[in-house]
Amino acid sequence: MADLTFNLEIHHGGQFVWNPDLVYLGGSTSFIDEVDLDKLSYFEIQDICCDLGANSTSRFHYPIIGGSLEQGIRLINGDDDLNNYLVMRK
């Protein structure tokens, strides 16, 4: 069976603000293609973000499944949060 992959869109170096819609200001957006769903971990996300210039105190979030950024994002505190999100995506 082929590995399931997806693309990550990472916003870094700025902040999300309402203007009047939710937009990302003062930073960059990077795209990471073909991320293996079964190998992704909190620490891999942390390493990817550090490679993009994030500091060690950065927080990582994901959008609600089937929703948009405007509908809310959830904090990733560790592998349990990430695994719950990835299981819902499968």
Percent with pLDDT over 90 in the chain: 2
Residue 36's domain spans which residues? 5-89
Report DSSP letters for the chain, one per residue.
-PPPEEEEEEEESSEEEESSSEEEESSEEEEEEEEETTT--HHHHHHHHHHTT--TT--EEEEPTT--GGG-EEEE-SHHHHHHHHHHH-
What average pLDDT score do residues 25-48 get? 87
Q: Indicate if the pLDDT at residue 1 is higher than 50.
A: no
**Tally of domains within the chain:** 1
Q: Indicate if the pLDDT at residue 20 is higher than 60.
A: yes
In this predicted model, what pLDDT tens digit does every residue of 58-74 receive, in sequence order?
A: 888 887 777 777 777 78
In this predicted model, what pLDDT tens digit does every residue of 4-19 receive, in sequence order?
A: 888 888 888 888 888 8
Considering the entire predicted model, what is its pTM?
0.70
The pLDDT assigned to 88 comes to: 61
Tokens of 77: 């505190």
